[in-house]
Every structure is written in C-alpha cells, then in structure tokens.
Amino acid sequence: QVQLVESGGTLVKPGGSLRLSCAASGFTFSDYYMSWIRQSPGKGLEWLAYIGRSDSAVLYADSLKGRFTISRDNSKNTLFLQMNSLRVEDTATYYCARDKYQGVIAFGGVHSHWGQGTLVTVSS
C-alpha cells in the first residue's frame, strides 16, 4: 500500500535551516507529482509547494518568498523540503502528499495520500 513517511522535524532557532525528507513506498514514485503542506498548531492546512515527476516543474506558495526549496530523488523514492531563514511562524507539522493522478503531465491538485507529518518547532 502507499506509504509516505516524513522525517527531519526538530527544534531549530530562528534564522536556522532544516531539511525535511519524505520516504515513499508502495507506488512508482517517479510517476507522481508530490506536494508539501503544513499545519500550524491549532490552525488549518497551508499548501507550500509541488514538484513534478522530475525536477522540471515546481511551484511555490507566494507566502514562502523563496525561503523554501522542494526537490526529489527518484532513485531513492524520496521527496525533500529545504527550509532556510526559518521564522517562529514556520512552526508547524509538515506533511508530504501524493497527487492522485499517475503519469500525467500537469499537476492534478488532488492530494490522495498523506504522510503522518513531522513537527518543526522554530524557537529561541
């Protein structure tokens, strides 16, 4: 079955950097668009970025202002999120999610499978 397992979340100081990983299994990873979505404590869902089947297609939420970078390693079935210049307001649970549609050229926008999330806490 489809499994997505995030890791890398931890306590980091403001201004610091962190790299999150999402290990995928149970499906052909390279066939799917992938996204990162976060949820601040007690708040709603916020989509951050998606990446196409290769690194060629990426899109970010305007709010990130270039601080985050999404990437993937299809040989290792792993999705990444590099987060720089972290702020207190970046404190959240970070989820990776798989798009529903296999082998498509364009992002489908349907997040059919989610990982369990990894908690990032930004605090001094």
Q: Which one of the spans 64-72, 74-82, 84-92, 107-115 is the region binding other proteins (CB under 8 A)?
A: 107-115
Q: How far is the CB of 96 from other proteins (least distance, A)?
A: 10
Count Cβ atoms below 10 Å from residue 21 Cβ, excluding itself: 17
Phi, psi for residue 121 in degrees, rounded to 5? -120, 125
Q: Is 27 in the site for other proteins (CB under 8 A)?
A: no
Q: How far is the CB of 13 from other proteins (least distance, A)?
A: 27
Cβ contacts of 83 within 8 Å, gap of 6 or more: 17, 18, 19, 20, 67, 68, 90, 120
Q: How far is the CB of 112 from other proteins (least distance, A)?
A: 5
Q: Is 45 in the site for other proteins (CB under 8 A)?
A: yes
- Contacting other proteins within 47-106 (CB under 8 A): 47, 50, 59, 61-62, 95, 100
β-bridge mates for residue 36, sequence order: 49, 96
Q: How far is Cα 121 from Cα 90, in angstroms, rounded to an integer?
A: 8
Q: How far is Cα 66 from Cα 35, in angstroms, rounded to an integer?
A: 16
Choice from 8, 108, 119, 121 touching other proteins (CB under 8 A): 108
- Residues at the interface with other proteins (CB under 8 A): 35, 44-47, 50, 59, 61-62, 95, 100, 107-117
